[in-house]
Structure 1
Amino acid sequence: MHGYAELTGRRTECAVIDDLVKAVRAGSSRVLVVHGAAGVGKTALLDQVAMRVGPCRVARAAGVQSEMELPFAGVHQLCAPVLDHVDRLPAPQRDAVGTTFGMRAGPAPDRFLVGLAVLGLLSAVAEERPLVCLVDDLQWLDRESAQVLAFVARRLDVESVGLVFADRAVPPDLADLPALDVRPLPDAEARTLLDAALPGPIDPRVRDEIVAEARGNPLALLELPRDVAPAALAGGFGLPAAGGVEERFRRRVTDLPPATRRLLLLMAADPSGDAALVARAARAWDVEPSAVAAAVDAGLVDDGLQAKFRHPLVRSAAYRAASTLERRAAHRALAEATDAETDPDRQAWHRAEAAAEPDDAVAAELERSAGRAQARGGPAAAAAFLQRAAALTADPGHMGRRALAAAAAEVRTGGFDAALELLATAETAPLSEQQEAHADLVRARLAFVTNRGNDAPPLLLAAARRLAGVDPALSRATYLEALSAAVFAGRMAAPEGDVRAVARAAHAAPPADLPAVGDLLLAGTALTYHRGYAAGLPVLREGLAALRARPPGADQLDFMWMAVTSSLRVFDDDAWDALSARYLALAREAGVLSHLPLALTARAYLLLFSGNLAGAASLTDELTAITEATGGSLAPYGALGLAAFRGDADTGAALLAETRDDVTRRGEGVGLTFAEWAYALLHNSLGDYPRALAAARRATAYAADPGALIWPAPELVESAVRCGQPAVAQDVFGLMSGMRTACGTDWALGIQSRSQALLSEGAEAEQNYRAAIDHLGRTRMRVDLARAHLLYGEWLRRERRRTDARERLRTAYDLFAGIGATAFAARAERELNAAGGRTHPRSTSGEQHLTTQEAQIARMAGEGLSNPEIATRLFISARTVQYHLRKVFTKLGITSRTQLPRVLRD
């Protein structure tokens, strides 16, 4: 099949390939996921891409089962031929590539930075001539490489890079990308292909039998006749024996001389492409390199040791045809032939595969490999090394410790099913009291990150109590996690996991002698729920101040979500901005996928309230992709909030229904509060106050956690007043009033004054509106400020002060329209029209005519950032930045970056 210029029966598929190549040669980037059953022709289609690219450069990589646990092996295979371009990358990306590929020592790089570096590297190569990257057998790629390439695929734009994947099925993290389903050939094309491949005539009955057995699989059509002599085919006496394609390859391997089988087994067991390594291992196993000739004659290997197997299924067949003893012997020979200094991890893996029984020395080396993998930014590989180390550990205590460490690593990287299995393995060992406490903690954390429902708080609380006697510092950290989980459980918490019950237990736990940041957050949060808001406020502020004064560090990651939440509870928008940015940076730097959804959500909401809806939308898209890729269960909070702020009623209603069902099923009570708040906000923006009031009442029905009422309470006040039911809001207003007064920040006092104005009349109302605008004007909360102008303008119009009303309403409209809060802008415009005013004509050459990405790039360029700096922030290539800047200049009618600040609105 590989030798034909045109693939039989693949005209449609080749047309898709031609379109991709044309687009790449014209300067665009394209991604394609080719998927179909084994042997259906995916590799042949990739070969067709390579044949049709013309002047394009081609880079290839293929996943191999035996390399699945070596971190970034697939990415290194793809990028190794072009590493001479690495000097063109910005220093952080250059360092990330060097550390990841073992070219330099350094701290573990940010997983996203590695992805951005690979994107930049491919883009740099494509600047010389278009580049097409072909990745075969994606299903066998190591997890880190798969994640990096999925990242790159989503961020390709105008780099002249084509990225074509081949997989047996479309993986979940690529599900939204263009795909090509390669199906079996129809009977007519199958007969044509079979006839073209046969060396002579064939009996029609035999042809029909082969076509029927092959079921349209091209590889089967080409391989089935190889098992029968030409004379038998012509006479119809020797029908091929039944069996799949891989089984036929296995039989042909079995028929080879013993020395050739050993050589193929070595090649299959170490697919590094290092002919010298295979030759050394072969000599150690008494195999001469010339033994490969028989495999070439059998059509299994193209041309000697340097060549690839004819098809990935041949590699699999060569490995599976060997006995367990033969496989171990092959791995032993490869381990002895591998340089322990230059490639210790590959040697350790071969030694592990060669082990017939527990081997503590090999297990210890695997544990060291896990540490090296973690240092290179490969936590998934670290988990795999630890898992194999546990299996090879003779001492039950060491086995339990390693299995626990592997389970904890899997939780942090999103390998939740594997974590459960490892926990079960660890718990078969005679664990110490400390190890049992750690097992409880890992199980509780697994419950939290996979479900965030009402089963996690009791588990975390039990783990915290058990750890108190063996590891007090970890016990306090676990109490803090239990409080976080109880906040998530909210109104759906079990009695023993209710936030107040957890707070009482945490408050009663022994305090730290010298409280660290996490201890202060724990003490302040526990006091807030146990003794009241005012009691916990100074301790929380002390903890937040201490955290902001410290430089960012990976040790802060586990309490960053509570720190961000605490900044909201004390109405500190500066802390919310700083800490949400730090949380996201730390989560990305560590590559901890269990934290990223929370970090992205926290940052997206800061951007929403600050009026940066475009930035929030970008983070929400990233959040969706990561949640789908990791199988995480965080509700679509980002998308729901974005729909509410934009005033998108249809999307908001659909997301509300989805969120209600999802969080109710999992027992995530805070999700109900959040969803109803978003729905109330949405309908207040639309002026549909009855619906807003109904949703706000549901959102504020759970008063045990006053911190969860910070956002719903203002929606309840506004909708209740507009519905003529101010008394409905009095209880919640009173509760929140005490919190805001005790807090005393501009944000808190601004919201308090705005709500008080709605509940007041005459001069008192006007005084409160002015106070709200004054306070909120000193914050970054642009949406809250715009709403204060809107409410004040509406009040002024009803007071018949039309001139004053027009001023406030026009200000509100300009703010809402500028940030993209469409429904609020329409409400302000209606009020302005009713007051006898008109909106200002909006410039046709300004930022509103830019796309979201163009606006982001324009703002950053206007701030003086270089193209590589902008690319790093937006996770795109510098070439894409340059392309969009040219479009920005054209749309805005300018010729220089220095003109951007003048033409873009503040």
Structure 2
Amino acid sequence: MLIGRETEQRRVDRLVAGARIGRGGALAVTGEPGVGKTALIDDALGRLEGVQVLRATGTEAEKDLAFAGLHLLLRPALHLLDALPEPQEAALSSALALKAGTAGDRFAIGAATLALLCRYAEQAPIAVVVDDLQWFDRPSAEALAFAARRIDADPAVVLLAGRSGACDDLVGGLDVLELSGLDAAAAGDLVRALEVAPPTDEQVARLFAATGGNPLALLELARNIELLDDRAPGLPPALPATLTAAFSRRLAELDPGTRTALLAAVVANGDLHHTGEVCRRLGLHVSGLGPAERAGLVVVTGSRVDVRHPLVRAAVYSEADESLRRVVHLAVADLLPDDAERRAWHLAEATWGPDPEVAGLLEAAADSAAARTAYTVASTAYERAARLSTDTDRWHVMLCTAAEAAWTGGLHDRAVALLDEIETQSVPERTRSRTLRIRAQIAARSGSVADAVDILERAAPDAPTPDDAVFLLAEALHAAFYLADAAVSTRLTTSLTGAVAAAGSPRARAIGLAATGMAKVLSGEGGLAEIQTSVPLLAAHADPVEHPEALPWLLTTPLFLRDAETGAELRRIVDDVRSRMGVGLLPNVLFHVARDQATSTAWSRAAANYEEAIRLARETGQGTDLAMSLAGLAWLESRQGRGDACREHATEAVRLCTQRGIRMGEAWCLYAVGDLELATGDPRAATETFLDLSRRLQEWGIADPDLSPGAELVDALLRLGRPAEAEAEARRYAAAARTKGRPWSVARAHRALGTVADHRSFDAHFEAAIEHHADTRDLFEAARTHLAYGGRLRRAGRRVDARAHLRAGLESFDDLGAEPWARTTAAELEATGEKVARREASGAASLTPQELQVSLLLAEGRTTRETAAALFLSPKTVEYHLRKVYTKLDIHSRAELAEQLLGS
């Protein structure tokens, strides 16, 4: 029976009770060693009936074995693997080394883990329990945490227990129960319940003061209360050092043979057969564990030797003679001829110095872990292999690979530390170039974009091949896009032009041309010819799954061309590969797709994709994509009239952009806020915002009219009664648009000119604008032109002509969900004498982003399980959202769902 944990028990019980009725959830129980995490969970599980339990405990011995923890945890459910969608089955089977193949990224494995748990829960409610999470191998812990964050409408509860501070990053996004020590009364009850001489009240008070109510510390020190006297008066004991001393004292009471048997059990990770075999080789018998079991240090059951507490393991291992530890590791290694990874790690612990054979085994183990996306484990193995290597031409390569694996696995500080070490040594130029590229990737995703550009530019001259030089410089230009610095882009373009001329593959040429064209467009120096030439090359030679360096250009090229047809093939490629991409790449993909959709009629899809990109970017620590997705969503929300959400997202985006030097995101946020101010009737604030944006773009050297707020600024100036300034801005903007010559900017320019033209010429400008809009995908811009034209016609006394354009604009604004613009258009239409019946918000506008994502995929024909896999949800969560959608839309079938949404 637990003492003093009534509040915590109720919290766990509520979670378990919810899981029984299909409201799943997860809880991380954290605290210092010995505070009672395991006892709390055991107490809850002891009262369960009819619940399937999946349980595993992390151990130091297996923390560097890729997916060892996940395999142990999921073993009772693995017979259901074949029931998962094929991509998920392949990802998880490969990660667990059950089948050969490519596992995909670490988040794909998390999604497969979720799918398997939910499938297992279809038989009966499940409880998934992990103890000592801090010792779980990191890939397993990440996969499980990913799944735990998405347990929602399933009969499943996930309970994770780990040390405070040792697994905080893993349990982010989960409810956390931080266990503290017992209160004084409960502490007294606990120690008085021991079968030892009852402590006095004064001793209980000293124990409580010394331990802070830590239950394990209370129990151990109550049995060894004289250890409290080892500290100076007034000073607390060094916990957990005092606990370790308590365990060490109990170990010292055992004979040497029992201590050696305990060491064998610890090194063999509790495998009783291996423990017995090691004992036999050392001339001992496994029955020597008996005294340790009677002392309460281990529990022997079946084929296992379970050590009571991690501190016991630590004491057993640290107290053992170093030579004996190596002998035991070597003996365990000999017992694992078919387990290459475990054998390699035991041999590494058994060796005294550099050993090329062991280094080779560790490198092979690292390769295997990396192939299964266990990058953090692979990093440790590569580093250890480098330390044991005697090959002076290989150590720096393995250390560099260790850094790259650490970064890919999300261990930023470790990656940087390894790179720092490499760069203090004399290494070949090829390795130096590689370290620079890794540093650039780290900077671009989690640090300064300017640093990333600088590093990539410095690395390019030393690239091993011309194609590699193209990829480095193109990557630098892609980073420079976020930087919004035309001078930097121009300098990089000069270098890239020469590299493209020497490129040996069509893929490198396509990427180089796309990057060069983009840079030229931003600085107003042409570039469209290069982009258009790159399109067929990208379509034919750039599979973004096989060649991830091509992905940015497949995504951005249609955005720069911005017409109805060109780039359609690239959109189809991206849409096809989205289903083959792991979630690690999805924030960037979804951000670009959402941006493209926001410039077409698919606003509902754009909003859903922005929301998903933001959620995944937060979860995966991809700060650049988070900032840009927030900025893009703010811009869309400004047009929808969602003022509070727009300003909230813009504020967060600006903060992130300022920290990281992402000027392009700052520009988008200014555009969003200015558009919102204009739409909601504050032309003075809009004018100030647009003028600020124009000044910044000029300072940065950005001359692309697609980024200029010229058309909006003309509108704002006219509303303020400043026609001369409006006309000057319209002519300036029109000149830039004519120079670019693309339909989107030319249409906007004609609209601006139409608003400032005299009564004899405004028709020609507006008709030209409408004609150019027909060559684009942007219904919103066309609707704004119809609004502006209709308003001008009404003021000229041509009410009948005005109504046709105002009706067209109102219909488009209503279809898109551009509420403030629809209100303005309706007011203009009523001013012509026509009675306007406004639509009520319905369809996609009434759904949450999560409901919308689910609905769109189902409406497009995906099954429930396919939708769940695509959105990293469980099928029951998809069904839960679908029920809410049916209620909101007052529909009863997927056919009705498709009818309502696919046209929106």
Find the residue that maps to 1:396 and give its secondary structure.
coil
Distance 2:154 2:664 in 1: 43
Aligned length: 881
1:137 matches 2:132: yes
Equivalent position to 2:531, from 525, 540, 552: 540
Q: TM-score with structure 2 length normalisation?
A: 0.89
| Equivalent of 1:348 in 336, 344, 351 | 344
Q: Which moved more, 1:366-375 or 1:554-563?
A: 554-563
Residue 201 of structure 1 and its aligned partner are, at CA, apart by: 2.5
Measured against aligned partners, the alpha-carbon deviations of 1:466-512 in whole angstroms (never above 9, x if no partner) come to: 22xx4322122111122223223224x8x7xx221222232344722
1:70 equivalent to 2:65? Answer yes
Matches of 2:195 and 2:576 in 1, distance apart?
Answer: 60
Asked whether the 8 Å contact 1:96–1:114 carries over to 2, the reply is: yes
Deviation at 1:41, TM superposition (A): 1.4
Measured against aligned partners, the alpha-carbon deviations of 1:244-267 in whole angstroms (never above 9, x if no partner) come to 334423443344333333333333
Aligned to 2:178: 181
Is 1:150 the counterpart of 2:140? The answer is no
1:557 to 526, 548, 562: 548
CA distance in 2, matches of 1:633, 1:683: 28
Query: Which AA in structure 2 matches 1:314?
Result: V
Quote the offset at 1:638 in angstroms: 1.6
- Determine if the alignment matches structure 1 residue 446 to structure 2 residue 442: yes
C-alpha separation in 2, matches of 1:726 and 1:809 = 23
Task: Give 1:616 deviation, angstroms.
Answer: 4.1
Instruction: Report how far residue 576 of structure 1 moved.
Output: 6.4
> C-alpha deviations, 1:18-44, integer Å up to 9, x for none?
111111111111122222222211111
Query: What are the Cα deviations for residues 739-772 of structure 1, in whole angstroms up to 9, with x where unaligned?
Result: 541x45xx45544544444454547544554554
Q: 1:501 aligns with which of 475, 491, 494?
A: 491
Which of residues 635, 645, 663 is equivalent to 1:669? 663
* Alpha-carbon distance, 1:65 to partner: 3.0
> Matches of 2:110 and 2:263 in 1, distance apart?
34
Which residue does 2:472 correspond to in 1? Answer: 478
Counterpart amino acid of residue 885 in structure 1:
L
Counterparts of residues 389-404 of structure 1 (less than 5 Å): 389-404=385-400
1:598 aligns with 2:588: yes
Question: Pairwise mapping of residues 314-333 of structure 1 onto structure 2 (< 5 A)?
Answer: 314-333=312-331
Q: What do the CA deviations read for 1:316-353 (whole angstroms, capped 9, x no partner)?
A: 3333333443433332222211133xx21222222223
- Map 1:549-588 to 2 at 5 A: 549-550=540-541, 552-572=543-563, 579=570
1:429-456, Cα deviation, whole Å (9 max, x unpaired) = 4312322232333333333333243222
- Please tell me whether the aligned partners of residues 62 and 138 of structure 1 are also in contact (alpha carbons under 8 angstroms): yes
Give the Å deviation of 1:657.
Answer: 4.1
Q: 1:257 aligns with which of 235, 255, 260?
A: 255
Per-residue deviation, residues 639-691 of structure 1 (Å, max 9, x unmatched): 23323322333343344444444433443333332332222233233232332
Q: CA contact under 8 A between 2:118 and 2:156: conserved in structure 1?
A: yes
2:596 aligned partner, one-letter code: L
1:784 aligns with 2:774: no
Question: Contact 2:265–2:275 at 8 Å: present in 1 too?
Answer: yes
| In structure 2, C-alpha distance between the alignment counterparts of 1:653 and 1:396, rounded to whole Å | 56
Amino acid at match of 2:668: F
In the alignment, what sits opposite 1:235?
none
Corresponding residue for 1:874? 871
Work out whether residues 382 and 409 of structure 1, in 8 Å CA contact, stay in contact via their aligned partners in 2.
yes
The aligned residue for residue 236 of structure 1 is none
1:101 to 96, 107, 114: 96
Say which SS state the counterpart of residue 377 (structure 1) adopts: coil
Deviation at 1:717, TM superposition (A): 4.3
* Residue of structure 2 in register with 1:518 after alignment: 508
Distance in 2 (alpha carbons) for counterparts of 1:780 and 1:369 = 51
Equivalence for 1:55: 50
1:187 deviates by: 0.6
Which residue in 2 is equivalent to 1:359?
355
**DSSP 3-state at the match of 1:133:** strand
Which of 367-376 and 704-713 deviates more?
704-713
Once residues 223 and 123 of structure 1 are traced to their aligned partners in structure 2, the CA distance between those partners, rounded to angstroms, is 41
1:84 equivalent in structure 2: 79
Contact 1:404–1:423 (8 Å) recurs in 2 = yes
Partner of 1:637: 628
Q: Which amino acid aligns with 1:261?
A: R
Range that drifts further, 388-397 or 126-135: 388-397
Contact 1:500 1:530 in 2 (8 A): yes
Residues 453, 663 of structure 1: 8 Å contact kept: no
SS state at 2:193 partner? helix
Where in structure 1 are there 5+ consecutive unaligned residues?
A: 233-238
Partner of 2:692: 698
- Larger mean Cα displacement after TM superposition, 316-325 or 10-19: 316-325
Selected match of 1:686 from 670, 680, 686: 680
Q: Is the 8 A contact 2:132 2:162 kept in 1?
A: yes
Q: CA 1:306–1:665 in 2, change beyond 3 Å: closer, same or farther?
A: closer
Tell me the TM-score normalised to structure 1 length.
0.88
- Structure 2 distance, partners of 1:838, 1:320, is 86
Q: Does the 8 Å CA contact 2:52/2:127 hold for their aligned counterparts? A: yes
Structure 1 counterpart SS, 2:394 = helix
Partner of 2:232: none
- Alignment partners' CA distance in 1, 2:277 and 2:730: 83
Asked if 2 retains the 8 angstrom alpha-carbon contact of 1:684 and 1:719, the reply is: yes
Change (3 A) 1:873 1:666: closer
Q: Read off the aligned partner of 2:349 and give its amino acid letter.
A: E
Distance 1:404 1:806, change over 3 A: same
SS where residue 677 of structure 2 aligns?
helix
What SS does structure 2 have at the residue aligned with 1:244? Answer: helix
5 Å-filtered alignment, 1:737-816, equals: 737-738=737-738, 740-741=740-741, 743-744=742-743, 747=744, 750-762=747-759, 764-770=761-767, 772-773=769-770, 775-776=772-773, 779-802=776-799, 805=802, 808-809=805-806, 811-816=808-813
Q: Which amino acid aligns with 2:128?
A: C
Contact 2:382/2:398 (<8 A) preserved: yes
Distance, in Å, in 2 between the alignment partners of 1:563 and 1:64 is 45
CA 1:115–1:402 in structure 2 vs 1: closer, same or farther (change >3 Å)? Answer: same
In 2, are the aligned partners of 1:373 and 1:381 still within 8 Å (CA)?
yes
Q: Secondary structure at the match of 2:90?
A: helix
Q: Distance in 1 between matches of 2:8 and 2:245?
A: 28
Shift of 1:229: 10
User: Conserved in 2, the CA contact under 8 Å of 1:460 and 1:478?
Assistant: yes
Native 8 Å contact 1:740 1:752 kept in 2 = no
Answering whether residue 191 of structure 2 is matched by residue 194 of structure 1, we say yes
CA distance, structure 2, for counterparts of residue 585 and residue 413 of structure 1: 26
What residue is the counterpart of 1:216 in the other structure?
A: 213
Shift of residue 546, structure 1, vs aligned partner: 1.6
Distance, in Å, in 1 between the alignment partners of 2:705 and 2:737 is 14
Q: What is the rounded CA distance, in whole Å, between the counterparts of 1:539 and 1:415 in structure 2? A: 38
Q: Structure 1 residue 866: deviation in Å?
A: 1.4
Distance (whole Å) between structure 2 residues aligned to residue 439 and residue 571 of structure 1: 37
**Superposed CA offset, 1:187-232 (max 9, x none):** 11111122123445333332222222221111212222233699x9
Q: By how many angstroms is 1:825 displaced?
A: 4.1
Residues 367 and 386, structure 1, Cα contact 8 Å, conserved in 2: yes
- Measured at CA, do residues 137 and 838 of structure 1 come closer, stay the same or move farther in structure 2, by a change above 3 Å? farther
In structure 2, relative to structure 1, the CA distance for the partners of 1:567 and 1:270 (3 Å cut) is: farther
Structure 2 residue 632 is matched with structure 1 residue 649: no
Cα distance in 2, alignment partners of residues 34 and 380 from structure 1: 24
- Structure 2 partner of 1:898: 895
User: In the alignment, which residue of structure 1 is the partner of 2:34?
Assistant: 39
Structure 1 position 568, deviation (Å): 1.9
